[in-house]
Amino acid sequence: MSEYGSFDILWLNGGWITGEDFHLDRRLSKARKKHPGLISVDRSIRGKNENYQTPERGISETQLNYPWESCPPLSNDWGWTPNAPFKSPQKIINILIGIIAKGGCLLLGVGLTPSKTK
């Protein structure tokens, strides 16, 4: 994790492996030594190293007592799909209001085109 320069967040998108298989404790300990102040989240491997949680596309019905974010895609899918409809500005604003009202943060997912552009 040193050849990418400085970074502040490590957003792990696992789900198919367990924390033991990935050696998450060891990896995050090393990463935090190189990047002081690093925060991390893993959408499926919960544990002591996680600074906040994500219900991914979901928004809780009630206020949560821990830091969290929701990360819905701008369209219906995470990846780029030709001619996919995007959520309207009003829909995005409503999503943002719903998340902020419950103490969360919004990470809006935008899929790249095959040429890696937005």
Closest CA to 39 of 102, 105, 101, 99: 105
Whether the pTM exceeds 0.85: the reply is no
Residue with tokens 């990360």, as numbered in its chain: 71
What confidence score (pLDDT) does residue 40 get?
87
What confidence score (pLDDT) does residue 90 get?
98
SS3 89: helix
What confidence score (pLDDT) does residue 110 get?
84
What confidence score (pLDDT) does residue 25 get?
77
- Read off the tokens for 53: 């949680």
What confidence score (pLDDT) does residue 95 get?
94
Residue ranges for the chain with pLDDT beneath 50: none
| Domain extent listing, the chain | 1-51, 52-118
Burial call 15-36: b when 16+ CB within 10 Å, e when fewer: eeeebeeeebeeebeebbeebe
What confidence score (pLDDT) does residue 44 get?
67
